[in-house]
């Protein structure tokens, strides 16, 4: 665990803190974060009870940040989980089966990498309507390609090794070999990639909700930044504070991911 | 690079592009069918209503009453003719809408890529020269934060600092409205407007390229040919740039192609922040208006743009690395 | 006076003593072979003399070239010391043209560069030098690449040429050609040659004197003929016995192998003789006291029993 380093500890602690905030938000800030709690545009630190101040409608920014954490982390982790699942399935099938199926799946991967995920997300919003589910789906269908490539490369290299032959000789089925013997060996690079996908998913969700295509019933950081957009001259903190929250959470996840890379890399330490 | 090799690179990329575009077209057709309602519903809604008989007539006229394989064939045939459909919201062909907004987006993407690659190279070389040193750690930390900043927020913060507080740059727009500028004055005006959006879009990619460049510099610095250059008596500065950076640059250039789709997605957001009349703005308006035909046309166009960028990147890589064409 | 004079040259990488108090000299026009297994410190010595060690290396001792102690090698890159490397593929920059690499450090006007480069390529026996100037390294064969590597060295107009395993990466027939080229250049240009190799066949064909290194220490320094006829150090004797007899295999292929045991760890090096652990004559004194070089006839030997 010493190998995590200072950055790794800071990152993991912050991620844990955000998770706790997300879980505890309804108790920390009971009621609807969209409710008015005081005068409009109270600056941060002006009122100790409202550390981040209030927005144009007198809503508590701190409450918004706390509740917004839920959306960011939910979308981030759910989209990453879905993307990693798709990537692992596509990558393992391509790498293990090879041949025509491999060619077809890799062509599909090429194609998805050609479509800008954000434009696809906008099209999906137009088709399915705005909502957390749409956002998760949009991010998942455009972020699995990296995982698929890594898993495919690893699986096909493991396939060539004697391990698989030995397992076949012992009478194991293909599914058993793939899931019990090969995939556990490639968990490390996939976990590392997952942290990148989570970070990207949080950024994409914030951009969608900034444009107003997030879930209209939930408060989210991107939407809060959009609220502050018209107030840059009078009260720039309304846009700055939720944006800073995004930066901190993404930095934390990246630091944690880098630390995991070091901790899981068998060639080091 | 010899002219024949140039053709070879382009042909290889285009041969690859055809099946990719076909799959994208199938996907857009699928989305079109998935959407509640069809073009006729949109037409009637925007046209202020109409009865069922009119709707049926229109469906027959547009071929929407036919079985879906026939519709698909019809759809693909129109795409081959570069017909992306008709927007009833704008009352214009989608291809016209896209064509007139394309230059703004391409300009933004090109300037952001130039900025990102330039700064990525300089920062990456600077960091990779002394791996583990204070400069390296500082630059990597900056890169980490650049990566974590959402581009729309960067855009707003740049507007806050450089447009609102310092009044150095305009808050948005492609050029000064109704200024009647022409020639070089207009170019400068557009460039002046492009500074903040370029930086806002580029910072994420600065982070990507600087990390790649740094890793390359660290790796190449221990290459045998660098030792050969030292043995020859080549100066330290020339070794760093002509030997180390020159080779470390190759994966960075290749990465520009990999990032093309992300770049286009980022441009969509940045155009909205800075009120630029590009593809992103068109996409935004189309979501609000539920103008699916335009969005799907944009999706297809995006794929074409990404393929085009990758073709250009292939050519640049082939020009920079004499080993590539041989492969 | 010697062209190159090395005194008490030691190189450490952290705790590892890669080269321990090497002293030797190379006369003008002489070929000295530096032989040893991998890990013996022979390449480290060569890189130290050429001023090409990495920053991690700690170097002590003095290297004199033409009477001047070297602290900064910039003055000897032209007209002084040049080096040829083992792997010519990786020693050439893949993205620059051959001609540009040959004359890169010469500060010639652009108009003269091509002609000069072609002249150097011609000097090392490359065919069609005017066309090769525009070629890239990957377009050349291994032997041609090594000739380019030698052309780069020749372009520096050196008086001492260091060749670090110049033929190891090549096919047997090409090896002979490259060695012939080095001998030819030496005679034509009046060079001194420091030949680093683990191949005793190469040594026998090329060297005037031989320095045998083991685990960072100089074990024996002798004229080539004397070394092959009457080796004094047990290590040298072991090496020569390990050579395949003539007739069964070309002497070119002879390699330093088949002495039982391994190189000792050098972080830190053992007390006493470095070879003691593998030597069948080793006794208490060998394990405790490091032997110093002493003259026997025209040979220097570091062994208590020689």
We report the CATH number of the domain holding residue B210 as: 1.10.3720.10
Q: Is there a domain that residue B236 lies in?
A: yes
Lowest mean pLDDT among B7-16, C130-139, C216-225: B7-16
Residue B320 to chain C, least CA–CA distance (Å): 7
CA atoms within 13 A on the CB side of C284: 0
CA B11 – CA B5 distance, rounded (Å): 10
Residue B1's pLDDT is 54
Is the residue at B130 inside a domain? Answer: yes
CB contact under 8 A, B299 and A115: yes
Query: What ipTM was predicted for this assembly?
Result: 0.89
CA–CA separation, A162 vs B264, rounded Å? 44
| DSSP state, residue C197 | E
- Pairwise CA distance, residues B207 & B3, whole Å: 35
Q: Which residues pair with C223 in a beta bridge?
A: C209
Separation between Cα atoms, residue A19 and residue C1, nearest integer Å: 77
Tell me if B58 is assigned to some domain: no
Q: Give the pLDDT score at B38.
A: 67
Q: Are A229 and B156 in contact (CB under 8 A)?
A: yes
Tokens of C295: 């003259």
Q: What is the rounded CA–CA span in Å between residue B137 and residue B143? A: 10
Q: Count other C-beta atoms under 10 Å from residue B69's C-beta.
A: 8
CA distance B237 to chain A (A): 32
Q: Binning pLDDT at 50, 70 and 90, where does residue C258 land?
A: low
Q: How many domains does chain B have?
A: 1
Q: Is C29 within 8 Å of C204 (Cβ atoms)?
A: no
**Which band of pLDDT confidence, cut at 50, 70 and 90, is reported for residue C249?**
very low
Give the model confidence (pLDDT) of C50-61 as tens digits: 999 988 889 999
Q: Where is average pLDDT lowest: A84-88, B8-12, B166-170, C165-169?
A: B8-12
> Do A255 and B149 make contact, defined as CB atoms within 8 angstroms?
no
Query: Hey, what domains does chain A have and what are their CATH numbers?
Result: 52-264 (1.10.3720.10)
Compute how many other C-beta atoms are within 10 angstroms of the C-beta atom of residue C130: 14
Evaluate the CA torsion angle C252, C255, C256, C257 in order and state its sign. Answer: negative
Taking residues A168-184, what's their average pLDDT? 79
Question: Would you tell me how many other CB atoms lie within 10 Å of the CB of residue B53?
Answer: 8
What are the start-end ranges of the E strands in C106-223? Answer: 160-164, 192-197, 209-214, 217-223
Question: How far, CA to CA in Å, does A217 sit from each of A22, A131, A213, A261, B151?
Answer: 17, 8, 11, 37, 24
**Quick one: tokens of C230?**
């009457």
Tell me how far the alpha carbon of residue B260 is from its chain's centroid: 5
Mean pLDDT for the stretch of residues B171-185: 79
Amino acid B327: pLDDT: 46
CA-nearest residue of chain B to C73?
B233
- The answer to whether residue B172 sits within a structural domain is yes
- Range C161-183 average pLDDT: 89
Reduce the DSSP state of residue C301 to 3 states and report it: strand
Which tokens in the block code for residue C83? 């080096």
Say how far apart CA A164 and CA C194 lie, in whole Å. 51
Beta pairing partners, C9? C22
d(CA A222, CA A207): 6
Do B272 and B265 touch, CB atoms closer than 8 A? no
| Average model confidence (pLDDT) across chain A | 85
How many Cβ atoms from other residues are within 10 Å of residue B295's Cβ?
A: 29
Q: What is the pLDDT of residue C255?
A: 47
Task: Tell me, yes or no, whether B239 lies in a domain.
Answer: yes
The reply to whether residue A118 touches residue B286, judged by beta carbons under 8 angstroms, is no
Indicate yes or no: CB of C78 within 8 angstroms of CB of B247: no
pLDDT score, position A4:
73
Residue B114 lies in a domain: yes
CB atoms within 10 A of CB A205: 31
Residue C62 bridge partners (DSSP): C7
Tokens of B309: 């960028």
pLDDT over 70 percentage in chain A: 96
pLDDT exceeds cutoff 50 at C250: no
Closest CA–CA distance from residue B233 to any residue of chain C (Å): 5
Flag whether B237 is in a domain: yes
Between chain A and chain B, are at least 3 CB pairs below 8 A? yes
Containing domain of residue B267, as a range? 104-279
The gap between the terminal CA atoms of chain C, to the nearest Å, is: 30
Candidates C164, C206, C214; CA nearest to C30 is C206
pLDDT at B39: 65
* CB of C154 closer than 8 Å to CB of C123: yes
B255 occurs within a structural domain: yes
Instruction: Judge: B148–A111 Cβ closer than 8 Å, yes or no.
Output: no
Q: Are C157 and C101 in contact (CB under 8 A)?
A: no
pLDDT at B47: 61
How far is Cα B248 from Cα B234, in angstroms, rounded to an integer? 18
Token pair 């026009």 in the structure block, residue = C29
Phi, psi of B150 (to 5 degrees): -65, 135
- How is residue A178 written in tokens? 């793939």
pTM: 0.88
Q: How far apart are CA A257 and CA A261, in angstroms?
A: 6
pLDDT band with cut points at 50, 70 and 90 for residue C160: very high
Q: Using CA atoms, how far apart are residues C2 and B300, in angstroms rounded to an integer?
A: 75
Evaluate whether B160 touches B167 at the Cβ level (below 8 Å). no
Q: How many CB atoms lie within 10 A of CB C282?
A: 18
What b/e sequence results for A18-49 when a residue is b if at least 16 CB atoms lie within 10 Å of its CB, and e otherwise? beebbeebeeebeeebeeebeeebbebeeeee
Distance CA A215, CA A229 (A): 19
Q: What pLDDT, on a 0 to 100 scale, did the predictor assign at position A185?
A: 78
Q: Across all residues in chain C, what is the average pLDDT?
A: 87
Query: Per CB distance under 8 Å, which residues of C are interface residues toward B?
Result: 50, 52, 54, 73-74, 77-78, 82-83, 85, 87, 90-96, 101, 104-105, 136, 138, 149, 152-153, 155-156
CB B191 within 8 A of CB B240: no
C162 within 8 A of C50, measured Cβ to Cβ = yes
Q: How confident is the model at residue A267 (pLDDT cuts 50, 70, 90)?
A: low
Distance CA B81, CA B93 (A): 13
Q: Do chains C and A touch (3 or more CB pairs under 8 A)?
A: no
Distance to chain B for A239, nearest Cα, Å = 8
C-alpha–C-alpha distance, residues A60 and A51, integer Å: 9
Highest mean pLDDT among B206-220, B276-290, C167-181, C186-200: B206-220
CB contact under 8 A, A123 and B299: yes
How would DSSP label each residue in A5-24?
Answer: HHHHHHHHHHHHHHHHHHHH
| Residues 6 or more apart whose Cβ sits within 8 Å of residue B45 | none
Per-residue pLDDT for A65 more than 80? yes
Specify burial of residue C297 (Cβ count, 10 A radius: 0-12, 13-18, 19+). Answer: exposed
């Amino acid at each position: 665990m010493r190998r995590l380093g200072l950055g790794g500890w800071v990152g993991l602690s912050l991620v844990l803190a955000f998770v706790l905030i997300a879980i505890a938000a309804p108790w920390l800030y009971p009621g609807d974060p969209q409710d008015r709690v005081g005068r409009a545009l109270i600056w941060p630190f002006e009122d100790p009870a409202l550390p981040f101040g209030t927005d144009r409608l007198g809503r508590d920014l701190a409450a918004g940040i706390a509740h917004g954490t839920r959306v960011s982390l939910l979308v981030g982790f759910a989209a990453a989980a879905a993307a990693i699942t798709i990537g692992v399935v596509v990558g393992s099938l391509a790498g293990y089966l090879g041949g025509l199926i491999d060619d077809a799946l890799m062509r599909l991967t090429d194609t998805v990498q050609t479509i800008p995920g954000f434009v696809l997300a906008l099209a999906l919003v137009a088709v399915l309507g705005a909502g957390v589910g749409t956002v998760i789906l949009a991010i998942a269908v455009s972020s699995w390609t990296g995982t698929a490539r890594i898993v495919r490369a690893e699986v096909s290299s493991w396939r060539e090794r004697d391990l698989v032959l030995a397992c076949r000789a012992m009478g194991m089925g293909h599914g058993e070999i793939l899931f019990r013997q090969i995939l556990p060996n490639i968990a490390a690079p996939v976990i590392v990639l997952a942290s990148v996908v989570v970070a990207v998913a949080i950024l994409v969700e914030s951009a969608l909700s900034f444009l107003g295509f997030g879930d209209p019933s939930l408060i989210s950081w991107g939407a809060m930044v959009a609220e502050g957009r018209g107030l840059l001259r009078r009260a720039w903190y309304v846009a700055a504070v939720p944006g800073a929250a995004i930066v901190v959470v993404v930095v934390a996840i990246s630091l944690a991911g880098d630390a995991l890379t070091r901790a899981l890399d068998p060639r080091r330490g | 690079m010899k002219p024949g090799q140039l053709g070879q690179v382009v042909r290889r990329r285009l041969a690859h592009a055809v099946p990719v575009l076909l799959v994208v077209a199938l996907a857009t057709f699928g989305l079109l069918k998935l959407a509640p309602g069809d073009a006729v519903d949109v037409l009637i809604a925007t046209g202020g209503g109409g009865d069922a008989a009119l709707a049926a007539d229109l469906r027959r006229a547009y071929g929407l009453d036919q079985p879906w394989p026939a519709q698909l064939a019809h759809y693909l045939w129109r795409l081959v003719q570069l017909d992306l459909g008709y927007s009833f919201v704008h009352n214009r062909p989608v291809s016209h809408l896209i064509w007139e907004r394309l230059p703004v987006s391409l300009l933004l993407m090109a300037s952001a890529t130039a900025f990102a690659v330039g700064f990525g190279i300089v920062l990456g070389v600077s960091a990779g020269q002394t791996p583990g040193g204070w400069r390296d750690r500082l630059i990597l930390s900056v890169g980490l934060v650049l990566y974590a900043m959402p581009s729309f927020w960067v855009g707003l913060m740049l507007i806050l600092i450089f447009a609102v507080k310092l009044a150095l740059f305009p808050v948005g727009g492609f050029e000064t409205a109704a200024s009647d500028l022409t020639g070089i004055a207009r170019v400068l005006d557009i460039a002046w407007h492009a500074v903040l959006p370029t930086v806002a879009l580029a910072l994420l990619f600065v982070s990507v390229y600087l990390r790649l460049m740094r890793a390359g510099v660290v790796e190449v610095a221990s290459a045998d040919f660098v030792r050969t250059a030292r043995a020859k008596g080549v100066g330290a500065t020339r070794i760093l740039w002509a030997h180390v950076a020159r080779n470390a640059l190759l994966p960075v250039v290749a990465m520009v192609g990999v990032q093309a789709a992300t770049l286009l997605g980022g441009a969509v957001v940045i155009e909205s922040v800075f009120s630029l009349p590009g593809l992103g703005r068109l996409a935004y308006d189309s979501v609000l208006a539920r103008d699916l035909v335009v969005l799907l046309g944009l999706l297809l166009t995006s794929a074409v743009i990404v393929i085009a960028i990758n073709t250009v990147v292939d050519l640049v890589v082939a020009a920079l690395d004499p080993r590539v064409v041989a492969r | 006076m010697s062209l190159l004079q090395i005194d008490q040259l030691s190189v450490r990488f952290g705790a590892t003593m890669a080269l321990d108090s090497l002293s030797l000299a190379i006369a003008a026009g002489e070929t000295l072979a530096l032989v040893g297994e991998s890990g013996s410190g022979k390449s480290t010595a060569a890189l130290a003399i050429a001023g090409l060690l990495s920053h991690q290396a700690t170097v002590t001792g003095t290297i004199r070239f033409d009477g001047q102690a070297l602290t900064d090698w910039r003055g000897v890159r032209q007209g002084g010391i040049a080096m040829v490397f083992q792997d010519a593929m990786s020693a050439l920059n893949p993205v620059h043209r051959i001609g540009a690499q040959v004359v890169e450090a010469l500060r010639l006007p652009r108009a003269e560069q091509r002609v000069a480069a072609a002249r150097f390529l011609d000097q090392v026996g490359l065919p069609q030098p005017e066309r090769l100037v525009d070629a890239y390294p990957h377009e050349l064969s291994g032997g041609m690449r090594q000739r380019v590597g030698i052309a780069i060295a020749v372009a520096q107009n050196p008086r001492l040429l260091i060749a670090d395993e110049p033929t190891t990466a090549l096919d047997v027939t090409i090896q002979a050609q490259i060695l012939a080229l080095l001998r030819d250049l030496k005679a034509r240009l009046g060079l001194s040659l420091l030949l680093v190799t683990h191949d005793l066949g190469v040594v026998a064909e090329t060297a005037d004197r031989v320095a045998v290194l083991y685990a960072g220490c100089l074990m024996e320094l002798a004229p080539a003929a004397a070394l092959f006829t009457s080796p004094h150090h047990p290590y040298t004797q072991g090496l020569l016995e390990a050579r395949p007899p003539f007739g069964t295999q070309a002497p070119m292929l002879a390699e330093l192998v088949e002495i039982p045991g391994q190189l000792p760890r050098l972080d830190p090096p053992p007390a006493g003789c470095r070879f003691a652990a593998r030597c069948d004559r080793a006794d208490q004194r060998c394990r405790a006291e490091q032997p110093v070089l002493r003259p026997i006839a025209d040979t220097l030997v570091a062994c208590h029993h020689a």
